[in-house]
Amino acid sequence: MSKVIALANQKGGVGKTTTAVNLGIGLAAEGKKVLLLDGDAQGNLTDSLGFHEPDSLSVSLATMLVKGMTEEPYEPREGILHHHEGIDLMPGNIELSAVEVALVNTMSRETIMRSYVDSVKADYDYILIDCMPSLGMMTINALAAADSVIIPVQAHYLPAKGMTQLLQTVARVRRQINPKLAVDGVLLTMVDSRTNFAKDISFVLRRDYGDKLRVFNTEIPLSIRAAETSAKGKSIYAHDPNGQVAKAYAALTKEVQDIGSERRSARQHKADQSR
């Protein structure tokens, strides 16, 4: 069964795209079939994977969503690109901005992306959605399509108000559209080991949100090597295989798979008890 994970935080520049690339390619290295969806009009995920002119692509996620809105039949695999490190990508570009505006007046406006995801799900073990840095319609669509959400947070800045708003949005989507939506946890990124900020933030998150909110054991270190990867169009495993960031993303990949297995056994346990 495939798992759909949204990478969301309405704050920009916190590591959503970098995590989508390196978690996705990490899962592919473990033998999983992975599709990344670029749900951000900036097209950074598409660009980071070496498709440096996202706006010139003739088919993208926006094309599929427009066809979904207008109920035109579509071939869901059209436009999917393959990256040489073993993952597929449905690219995103500036056209998503227009789609976001158009969605507002569409029937089933929150579930257009879910219909697209459902149409390709059978081909993949994991689908990761890189969200826009906003809580607009495109992010709501991603949350409606997802099984769970990972929230990357830059370790030297805790957007306390932003976190509350994001968790409220997740709760609203869960209540109204997608009851199965879980929060996998907060991922601390760009952690500078010379400071205590990461520890302080973990403490504040646990204090303010309690055990409702898991903080991943894995922390992603701050490193110029991570910042270099997008221009190169490759993952950190290919760019700096022995560095700390590659090790951290490999550890995150394991942690994400472990959360998946824990949830599956919890569901099984519940099902067995209700028999």
Ligand X SMILES: Nc1ncnc2c1ncn2[C@@H]1O[C@H](COP(=O)(O)OP(=O)(O)OP(=O)(O)O)[C@@H](O)[C@H]1O
Strand-pairing partners, residue 187, are 152
For tokens 């669509």, the residue is 141
In whole angstroms, what is the distance from residue 151 CA to residue 185 CA?
Answer: 6
Nearer to ligand X, 37 or 245 (CB): 245
Minimum distance of ligand X from residue 248's CB (angstroms): 8
Nearer to ligand X, 20 or 173 (CB): 20
Minimum distance of ligand X from residue 265's CB (angstroms): 32
Nearer to ligand X, 13 or 162 (CB): 13
> Nearest CA to 19 among 261, 228, 236?
236
Q: Using CB under 6 A as the criterion, which residues of the chain lie in contact with ligand X when the complex forms? A: 12-18, 40, 42, 44, 133, 189-190, 220, 222-223, 226-227, 230, 245
Beta-carbon contacts of 145 under 8 Å, excluding residues fewer than 6 positions away, are: 4, 6, 111, 113, 114, 116, 117, 118, 129, 178
Minimum distance of ligand X from residue 227's CB (angstroms): 4
- Other C-beta atoms closer than 10 Å to the C-beta of 218 total 19
> Nearest CA to 20 among 132, 98, 160, 122?
132
DSSP letters along 227-259, please? HHHHHHTS-HHHH-TTSHHHHHHHHHHHHHHHH
In whole angstroms, what is the distance from residue 260 CA to residue 256 CA?
Answer: 6
Nearer to ligand X, 227 or 266 (CB): 227
Minimum distance of ligand X from residue 118's CB (angstroms): 25
For tokens 């998503």, the residue is 96
Minimum distance of ligand X from residue 158's CB (angstroms): 15
Nearer to ligand X, 118 or 228 (CB): 228
Nearer to ligand X, 42 or 115 (CB): 42
* Strand duo 81-83 + 87-90: pairing: antiparallel
Minimum distance of ligand X from residue 222's CB (angstroms): 4
